[in-house]
Amino acid sequence: MQTVVQKFGGTSVGDAEKLRQSAGHAVRARGAGRRVILVVSAMGDSTDDLLGLADTLGDIGHDKREMDQLLATGEQVSCAMMAMTLRGLGVPAVSLTGLQAGIKTDHVHGRASIREVGGDRVEQLLGQGVVPVVCGFQGVTEEGDVTTLGRGGSDTTAVALAARFKGECEIYKDVDGVFTADPRLVPEARLRPVVFYEEMLEAASLGSQVIHPRAVELARKFDVPVRVLHSQRAGDGQRGTVVLSEEGSMEARVVSSVVLKGGVGRISLRGVQNAAGVQAKVFSPIAAAHIPVDDIIQEDDGPGTINLTFTLDKKDLPEVNAILQGVAPLVGAQSLRADGGFSTVSAVGAGMRSSSGVAAMMFAALAQEKILVENITTSEIRISVVVREGDGQRAVRCVHRAFGLHSSEGEAQAAALLRGELGEV
Amino acid sequence: MQTVVQKFGGTSVGDAEKLRQSAGHAVRARGAGRRVILVVSAMGDSTDDLLGLADTLGDIGHDKREMDQLLATGEQVSCAMMAMTLRGLGVPAVSLTGLQAGIKTDHVHGRASIREVGGDRVEQLLGQGVVPVVCGFQGVTEEGDVTTLGRGGSDTTAVALAARFKGECEIYKDVDGVFTADPRLVPEARLRPVVFYEEMLEAASLGSQVIHPRAVELARKFDVPVRVLHSQRAGDGQRGTVVLSEEGSMEARVVSSVVLKGGVGRISLRGVQNAAGVQAKVFSPIAAAHIPVDDIIQEDDGPGTINLTFTLDKKDLPEVNAILQGVAPLVGAQSLRADGGFSTVSAVGAGMRSSSGVAAMMFAALAQEKILVENITTSEIRISVVVREGDGQRAVRCVHRAFGLHSSEGEAQAAALLRGELGEV
């Protein structure tokens, strides 16, 4: 019998009515003869409420081990509520904490990694025709201490269970699936029936949080088919988006999505004396302060000197600026400049690998809109440009249209254009 | 090294400030060289909040297994908060759920009984000089399902841990200890330095909820010394009340407390044909409806007929009346009467066993105040009278004074009076 793991986020279980609608998906899957495991996040704002409670303790709060013990209650509540909802719909169901479900992790409280899914109790319940409702986001160490998995934790729990039980994973959200761009920004954005793990990884790390990169990575590793669906729509009609491996797919879409990320800051160190280890001198103290840095660009700036430019979250600018004020003299930098007010616009697509001209097509679209490109970075399946924040929305729209993502005809035209350029090379 | 289990109820951990005050008791005990285990109830109204959340599911909520999984989060939150508070005060502390602490119970969800206290983790932490902060009110079945212990559960957890670790148990409340009467009703009520298990059992079952009878019963069984203290007062000055076994005690107080219980209903079946099994016919259907009945009085009412009178919670009157409407003809009852509006006033004391005249002294006091006594029941260490609800407060005050509980001189006088009567008999 086929197993499906259905994961519901906080907004999908926010109240009794949403619980019922979400539970309906499990009822239908069960009716279709599938074995169903649910993974549930904490209801609505309850995690924030628990964080607020810890804040009342002032500085003394936030011990990591105890914060995990505290936060894990959020999912325990939502899972019990979901199990009762399912029972109310005539489906036998039992809620399980991470510990009870055998989600074993390392000891890194607050952002633990799953080491193993025991799952004996889950297996036993499935054998009895009962739906296990598993707390997402949490696990337990060898010693029996509760851990939480950090951001994207519930998605990761769901994929790990799907891997353990050789099943599919359905991620239920308050969106219809993965789109070519954020429909709130680009009204003509279209739902993608299929995306590849690699594309999801790039898009997710750029701020398009449909599924957390950790969960996507895990799904790729264990070849778990993932489907993104809308929790508040009846199941049978909707197709959602399937996330799967590129291998064996006929489709080789050049660009599959365009992602806008706002609130970007940029720091430039100019005229740095290039010597072995200067990069480490610059970035080690930033890493030590646990501040994530995005794309790094290094370019020559005359004989023996370089410019180092990188982007980061705007809110981290003051702290990083303060750190680099101390570092700049040590690397002989002639100037240090920190600016906020940027966005990045990225085109992502697995087909980009085998198609040149994609960058040119993107730059042409931006030029036609007279949008100034401040920086460029690329990976194997992604091209990102830094633009002024005010240009962000126009940029994502024009790039989306340039790659023909608004319609299948448009897409065919863009593909033909790219093939033509390929021929000219 | 001596071990002490300190138990804090919901109001004693209701916010950050109360958590700090309560934690102070643990800090002091530790400073005095004792090994400390804490047992904590859910913060303030959080259990009611969780019950309210389940209510939003309507009729479908309240599956017993899932309700336990839900309610257990209340203590998990408060224990994590307490552990962080202690760490903030420089005391290493680790919170433990019932499962983590090895509190093993039977399978009766909602009112489980503790079968065994594993406590390996507790022992290990104590050995490391760490304070284990254990979730009260909860345990786990053999299969790993979370259970709750029902009313008085946290007191029971505390006593069970004290029994397991051969320590003392301190129950912290928002009162100074056990009084001769409720000080809100009887301003001259005095704190008792010592009460006996048996007296606590009688007083608790009469509505004086200082420690739950289950916990007292357990303390008696394992001979655990229990002390009742005020959570919001600094520890060293206060003596509180010690609850201990009568054996080996020099004190043999005749009456140690007077308890008022309001909201009492009364039902009388008159002229019942007395035959084998009539009592069962009357009380079995009430028990089947899970309605607790208090004192039962049976008296003759002429040849071959009896009157059956019993007291119960006023709120249960309509349901029991409906049940007995059906039963009355079957037992040949000539009349059925249900009345609300009563109180019981009880004098409790272990010394009553060896002292006659106590009842007479109580009746004399009530007579002097012209308070009509509606019914009388007695046990080995208790005399209870049913009075009109409006007379309740006056009754408890005059009985309290009659037994000299307002001062040590008064007590000596009453004792002398009783000895005198004893001589006359």
Q: What is the pLDDT of residue B249?
A: 56
CB contact under 8 A, A60 and B100: no
pLDDT (tens digit per residue) in B316-325: 999 999 999 9
Report chain B's mean pLDDT, rounded to a whole number.
88
How close does chain B come to A141, measured CA to CA in Å?
12
Q: Which DSSP category does A71 fall into?
A: H
Q: Are B342 and B264 in contact (CB under 8 A)?
A: yes
Lowest mean per-residue pLDDT among A293-307, A386-400, B168-182: A293-307
For domain A3-246, say whether CATH 3.40.1160.10 is its number. yes
List chain B residues with CB under 8 Å of A23.
none
Backbone angles phi, psi at A91, to 5 degrees: -105, 120
Distance CA A155, CA A210 (A): 10
CB contact under 8 A, A85 and B60: yes
Q: What is the pLDDT of residue A205?
A: 67
Q: What is the pLDDT of residue A423?
A: 43
Tokens for B112? Answer: 């489980």
Q: CA nearest B226: which of B314, B176, B162, B279?
A: B162
Provide DSSP, A228-268. Answer: EEETTS-TTT---EEEE-STT-S---S--EEEEEEEEEEEE
Q: What is the pLDDT of residue A425?
A: 32
Instruction: Provide the sign of the torsion angle of the four alpha carbons A109, A114, A116, A120, taken in this order.
Output: positive
Distance CA B317, CA B323 (A): 10
pLDDT above 70: residue A252: no
CB contact under 8 A, B80 and A70: yes
Which residue bears the tokens 């309700």?
Answer: B67
Tokens for A360? Answer: 């040119």
Residue B38 backbone zone (phi > 0: left; psi -120 to 50: alpha; other: beta): beta
Residue of A84, A99, A146 with shortest CB distance to B54: A84
Q: Say which residue, A349 or A74, is predicted with more confidence.
A: A74
Mutation target to probe the B interface, by most B beta carbons within 10 A, among A22, A63, A103 is A63
Using DSSP's 3-state secondary structure scheme, residue A325 falls into: helix
CB contact under 8 A, A84 and B76: no
pLDDT (tens digit per residue) in A27-77: 999 999 999 999 999 998 899 999 999 999 987 667 899 999 999 999 999
- B199-205: long-range pairs with CB below 8 Å, 24+: B199/B256, B199/B257, B199/B348, B199/B349, B199/B350, B199/B381, B200/B243, B202/B346, B202/B348, B202/B379, B202/B381, B202/B382, B203/B178, B203/B257, B203/B259, B203/B346, B203/B348
- Counting Cβ atoms within 10 Å, is residue B394 exposed (0-12), middle (13-18) or buried (19+)? middle
CB contact under 8 A, A80 and B60: no
List chain B residues with CB under 8 Å of A144.
99-100, 121
Nearest C-alpha in A relative to B19: A57
Query: Between β-strands A93-96 and A138-140, what pairing exists: parallel, antiparallel or unpaired?
Result: unpaired
Nearest C-alpha in A relative to B76: A70
Nearest C-alpha in A relative to B54: A81
List chain A residues with CB under 8 Å of B15.
56
How open is the CA angle B369-B373-B374, to the nearest 5 degrees?
Answer: 150
Q: With b meaning 16 or more CB within 10 Å and e meaning fewer, what string describes B207-223?
A: bbebbbbbbbbbbbeee
| In chain B, where the domains are located | 3-246, 258-424
CB contact under 8 A, A60 and B89: yes
Residue of A50, A62, A84 with shortest CB distance to B66: A84
Residue of A66, A85, A94 with shortest CB distance to B65: A94
Strands of A3-8's sheet in order across: A93-96, A131-135, A35-40, A3-8, A168-173, A226-230, A241-244, A194-196
Nearest C-alpha in B relative to A91: B60
In angstroms, how far is the first alpha carbon of chain A from the final one?
A: 52
* Average pLDDT of the residues in A91-117: 94
Tokens for A384? Answer: 């990102």
Residue of B16, B57, B94 with shortest CB distance to A57: B16
Provide DSSP, B118-147. Answer: --HHHHHHHHTT-EEEEETTEEE-TTS-EE
Q: Which CATH superfamily is domain B258-424 in?
A: VC0802-like (3.30.2130.10)
Tokens for A364? Answer: 């042409």
Residue of B59, B63, B121 with shortest CB distance to A144: B121
Using DSSP's 3-state secondary structure scheme, residue A98 falls into: helix
Q: Which DSSP category does A191 fall into?
A: B
Report chain A's mean pLDDT, rounded to a whole number.
88
Backbone angles phi, psi at B91, to 5 degrees: -105, 120
List chain B residues with CB under 8 Å of A60.
84-85, 87-89
Q: With b meaning 16 or more CB within 10 Å and e meaning fewer, what string describes B161-199?
A: bbbbbebbbbbbbebbbbbbbbeebbeebbbbebbbbbb
Using DSSP's 3-state secondary structure scheme, residue A210 falls into: coil
User: Is it true that B3-246 and B258-424 share their CATH fold?
Assistant: no
Tokens for A183? Answer: 């429909």
Q: With b meaning 16 or more CB within 10 Å and e meaning fewer, what string describes A106-123?
A: eeebebbebeebebebbe
Query: Between β-strands A382-388 and B3-8, what pairing exists: parallel, antiparallel or unpaired?
Result: unpaired
Q: What is the pLDDT of residue B376?
A: 84
Residue of A66, A81, A100 with shortest CB distance to B95: A66
Q: What is the pLDDT of residue A359?
A: 82
Distance CA B268, CA B296 (A): 10
Q: What is the pLDDT of residue B245?
A: 82
How close does chain B come to A239, measured CA to CA in Å?
29
Instruction: For chain B, give the number of residues.
Output: 425
Distance CA B352, CA B381 (A): 5
Residue of B16, B66, B84 with shortest CB distance to A80: B66
Query: Between β-strands B226-230 and B194-196, what pairing exists: parallel, antiparallel or unpaired?
Result: unpaired
How close does chain A come to B153, measured CA to CA in Å?
20
Residue B152 backbone zone (phi > 0: left; psi -120 to 50: alpha; other: beta): left
Q: Are B191 and B249 in contact (CB under 8 A)?
A: no
pLDDT above 80: residue A96: yes
Distance CA A310, CA A296 (A): 4
Distance CA A103, CA B204 (A): 43
Query: Between β-strands A382-388 and A375-379, what pairing exists: parallel, antiparallel or unpaired?
Result: antiparallel
How close does chain A come to B64, measured CA to CA in Å?
9
CB contact under 8 A, A60 and B94: no
* Average pLDDT of the residues in A295-299: 83
Between the alpha carbon of residue A166 and those of residues A158, A161, A162, the distances in Å are 12, 8, 6
List chain B residues with CB under 8 Å of A89.
60
List of residues 6+ apart from B171 with CB closer than 8 A: B7, B155, B158, B210, B211, B215, B226, B227, B228, B229
List chain A residues with CB under 8 Å of B19.
57
A131 alpha carbon, distance to own chain's centre: 27
Distance CA A179, CA B271 (A): 82
Q: What is the pLDDT of residue B146?
A: 97
Distance CA A272, CA A275 (A): 9
Mutation target to probe the B interface, by most B beta carbons within 10 A, among A17, A55, A81 is A81
List chain A residues with CB under 8 Å of B58.
16, 88
Count how many pairs of residues, chain A against chain B, have C-beta atoms within 8 Å: 115
pLDDT (tens digit per residue) in A181-209: 888 889 999 988 888 888 888 877 666 66
List of residues 6+ apart from B249 with CB closer than 8 A: B194, B196
Interface of B with A (CB under 8 A): 15-16, 19, 50, 53-54, 56-63, 65-67, 69-70, 72-73, 76-77, 79-81, 83-85, 87-89, 94-95, 97, 99-100, 121, 143-146
Between the alpha carbon of residue B116 and those of residues A133, A403, B94, B113, B317, the distances in Å are 28, 68, 21, 9, 39
Distance CA B130, CA B92 (A): 5
Residue of A56, A80, A144 with shortest CB distance to B69: A80
Mean pLDDT of successive 10-residue stretches along chain B, which has 425 residues: 94 93 94 96 92 87 88 97 95 97 94 91 96 97 93 92 95 88 89 87 73 87 91 77 74 79 92 84 84 82 86 92 92 92 90 75 88 83 90 94 88 78 42
Residue of B61, B66, B73 with shortest CB distance to A73: B73
Q: With b meaning 16 or more CB within 10 Å and e meaning fewer, what string describes A283-305?
A: beebeeeebebbbeeeeebeeee
Distance CA A162, CA A134 (A): 12
Q: What is the pLDDT of residue B408?
A: 82
